[in-house]
Structure 1
Amino acid sequence: MDTAFRKIDIDIYDEDTLQESELYDADPRDPAQVLDDAKQRQAAVRSSLAKGDIGEALSITLDNAPYGPGVDAAKEITLQTLLTILNSTKSTEITGIIKTLSQDSQDTLMKYLYKGMGMPGWGDISGSVLLGWHEKLTEVAGTGSIVRAMTDRRTV
């Protein structure tokens, strides 16, 4: 039985195919600038964590998160920075920190939590940490945050 027909991309012949670039505007910054910004934010987060200001560190990470094509290195740096913050937070402080975030930051945090859960073996972070943050974020932001994170085409 010939199964070669299953490997043909028929969408290239359809003029009405929706392209990823048509779903949302790409990040207006140059990919090199996005990477440089991610590295600068990583250094700022380290200094905030050294001071013990986890809320500020989280705000720095979630503000102006990289998205779109061509910025995979910046996305990875931002994810690792965020996972460091999540790992270094006491579970009793999570709710108070989440309440200080704006709705957009809460939605971005939800995206990062799902991205962390999608990592093979959940990366260097314990599943209980991600699920604990998810539980507290859902309590504060509601299920609307989950819906907004799932339906937003801008992936982090």
Structure 2
Amino acid sequence: MDSFRKIDIDQYDEDVLQDSELYDADPRDPAEVLEDARQRAGAVRGLLARNDIAGALTIILDNAPYGPNVDEAKNLTLTTLLTILNTTKSTEITGVIKSLPLDAQDTLMKYLYKGMAMPGWGDISGSVLLGWHEKLTEVAGVGCIVRTMTDRRIV
């Protein structure tokens, strides 16, 4: 009865807009992106051992993997970021967010939404993600949410 909904009508439209037309794919090789994600994850562990939350977030949010064929790097980056969010005290969140540049704040919002989209929210408590979202919205404003929702580069 509802099989008509499975037909991809965009294949018949010559003016359909493809993701590849909206943004340039990551120019790096997928293996290079994965190796970069592994190196950044190691650097983050070192910074977390020294309790440098802002530095760890800056490293993990800089040059985040996006585009096709880099799913393993995306998952590693998300896992590392969730570790940072879990280890941060709630009283330090606002100061850490204020120390981030605007692009990093937008990327953080993307990862917060990606974490919320995980089934059962993964290994992180919902209050952690919602707390970070609240503090990030207070610091960066609703413009951060709008930029996140309109950016086609999915982390």
- TM-score normalized by structure 1? 0.96
1:51 equivalenced with 2:50 (yes/no): yes
Partner of 1:20: 19
* AA matched with 2:90: S
Deviation at 1:9, TM superposition (A): 1.8
* AA matched with 1:23: L
Moved over 4 A (4+): none
Deviations 1:17-61 (A, max 9, x none): 111111101011111100110000000000100111111001000
1:2-151 matches, cutoff 5 A: 4-151=3-150
State the Cα RMSD in Å: 1.0
Deviations 1:50-106 (A, max 9, x none): 111111001000000001111111000000000000000000000000000000000
Corresponding pairs, count: 155
Deviation at 1:16, TM superposition (A): 1.0
Quote the sequence identity (%): 78
Cα distance in 2 for residues equivalent to 1:78 and 1:96 = 22
Deviation at 1:5, TM superposition (A): 3.7
Cα distance in 2 for residues equivalent to 1:76 and 1:5 = 34
Partner of 2:151: 152
Cα distance in 2 for residues equivalent to 1:24 and 1:15 = 19
Cα distance in 2 for residues equivalent to 1:100 and 1:56 = 9
Cα distance in 2 for residues equivalent to 1:109 and 1:27 = 19
Distance 1:59 1:10, change over 3 A: same
- TM-score normalized by structure 2? 0.97
Q: Secondary structure in 2 aligned to 1:26? A: coil
* AA matched with 1:113: L
Distance 1:4 1:92, change over 3 A: closer
Cα distance in 2 for residues equivalent to 1:5 and 1:94 = 48
The gaps in structure 1 that reach 5 residues or longer are none
Q: Secondary structure in 1 aligned to 2:20? A: helix
The gaps in structure 2 that reach 5 residues or longer are none
Distance 1:97 1:18, change over 3 A: same
